[in-house]
Amino acid sequence: MLKSKDLNSAFKHISVFLFYLLLYFIHHILNCFAANECIKINFCIELLRKFLSNTHELFRTNSYI
């Protein structure tokens, strides 16, 4: 069985990973705006929306296993 300490440690690692992933997406969105290319901007925003939607769904369904 997993101990509470192990779960807390795993959650911290996942949180840090998601934070850096979010920074990565923000970086690319800012690059899209800097490039002033509407197609890329729409693609980046859609990609971020899908990522956040999937992440929310993941935490909603697996939050209290």
| Domain residue limits, the chain | 23-65
What DSSP state is assigned to residue 65?
-
Percent of the residues in the chain that have a pLDDT greater than 70, as a whole number: 60
Percent of the residues in the chain that have a pLDDT greater than 90, as a whole number: 0
Interatomic CA distance for residues 44 and 58, integer angstroms: 21
- pLDDT (0 to 100) of residue 65: 46
Which helix (H) or strand (E) is 9 found in, with range? helix 4-35
Matching residue, tokens 């901007």: 41
Q: Which residue has the higher pLDDT, 63 or 7?
A: 7
The whole model's pTM is what? Answer: 0.45
User: What type of residue sits at position 21?
Assistant: L
Interatomic CA distance for residues 33 and 25, integer angstroms: 12
The CB density around residue 8, as the number of other CB atoms within 10 Å, is 10
